[in-house]
Amino acid sequence: MKLSHATWQEAQASIARTPGIILPTGSTEQHGPMGMIGTDTICADEIATAAAIEVGCLVAPPFAYTPAPFNMDFPGTISISPEVFARLFTEVALSIRHHGFALLYVLNGHGANLDPLRQAASGIDGLTIRIRSWWDFEAVNVLRREFYGAWEGMHATPSEIAITQATHRIIPPGEAATPPRRLSPEYIAAHAGDRHGPPAEHRRDFPDGRVGSHSALARPEHGSALSSAATKAVAEDFTTTLTRVTKSG
């Protein structure tokens, strides 16, 4: 159940029954010619909600305003500083701890969130915080490799576009029909976690917003398969983590 749709009595009963909660984190940033600005948040929220149904826990409202400074030269992007994001996450986590949750499971959909999330989580005692991105699981990556290979790229990826196609709408490729510039493995490694340059430089180097990702390869049936694989993996990981936490407590 979504926390925002629950009464306080329902929340209290859920905590007593399953003392873990899933918090989706995404972004509000451009995702190329055929990707919605809310893509990262949509992916994390859809998978988190489906996993919460499977395990019978609450899912918190998603974080949609997060760090995305490199995309600020693309209209529609909204970026907050890593410091503000980390502080907001800390306040939310402390509220969750206050209500008796044993586990805060963060399901992430945006690479630039990871460093501030980890830094903030390291300073919070009395609450187990597990941070995973929906693409961390091998079952998901098997499909990403099968569907897209090296064309998955780094941003406006066909996998995330496919998930939004399955859950929301299909946007015609437009200029995304043409493959983008391929990225070297060295470039991908150096820029992992959305370590991109200043906004003007980023827009210059990737003028349509894609970063090595051939978005036009996305298909809604791919999105359904990716979502199902991620949902199952997240549900299993959540259950394993919560069992360990409650036994140790």
> For residue range 133-158, what is the model confidence (pLDDT) as tens digits?
999 999 999 999 999 999 999 999 99
Instruction: Report the number of secondary-structure helices (H) and strands (E) in the chain.
Output: 9, 4
β-strand partners of 103: 20, 128
Residue 228 host element (H or E): helix 220-248
- Residue ranges per structural domain of the chain: 3-237
Q: Tell me: pLDDT of 71 over 80.
A: yes
Residue-wise pLDDT for 168-182, tens only, equals 999 999 999 999 999
> Is residue 73 helix, strand or coil?
coil
Q: What is the mean pLDDT of the chain?
A: 97
Residue-wise pLDDT for 77-110, tens only, equals 999 999 999 999 999 999 999 999 999 999 999 9
Name the least confident of 14-23, 36-45, 91-100, 194-203.
194-203
Read off the pLDDT of each residue in 27-48 and give the average, rounded to a whole number: 98
Q: If we measure between CA atoms, which residue out of 62, 232, 26 comes closest to residue 140?
A: 232
**Cα–Cα distance for residue pair 1/217, rounded to 1 Å:** 33
Q: Tell me: pLDDT of 34 over 70.
A: yes
Percent of the chain at pLDDT > 90 equals: 92
CATH superfamily of this structure's domain 3-237: Creatininase (3.40.50.10310)
Residue 194: pLDDT band with limits 50, 70, 90: confident
Question: Tell me, what amino acid is at 110?
Answer: H
pLDDT of residue 197: 87
Read off the pLDDT of each residue in 32-38 and give the average, rounded to a whole number: 98
Q: What is the largest CA-CA distance in the chain?
A: 54
Read off the pLDDT of each residue in 103-131 and give the average, rounded to a whole number: 97
**Cα–Cα distance for residue pair 198/39, rounded to 1 Å:** 22
pTM score, whole prediction: 0.96
- Say if residues 194 and 110 touch (Cβ distance below 8 Å): yes
Dihedral sign for Cα 85, 91, 95, 98, please.
positive
Q: What are phi and psi of 199, to 5 degrees?
A: -55, -50
Q: Which residues are CB-contacts of 226 (< 8 A; sequence separation ≥ 6)? A: 140, 143, 144, 159, 162, 163
pLDDT of residue 220: 98
Residue indicated by tokens 């919560």: 242
pLDDT of residue 248: 83
Residue 249: pLDDT band with limits 50, 70, 90: low
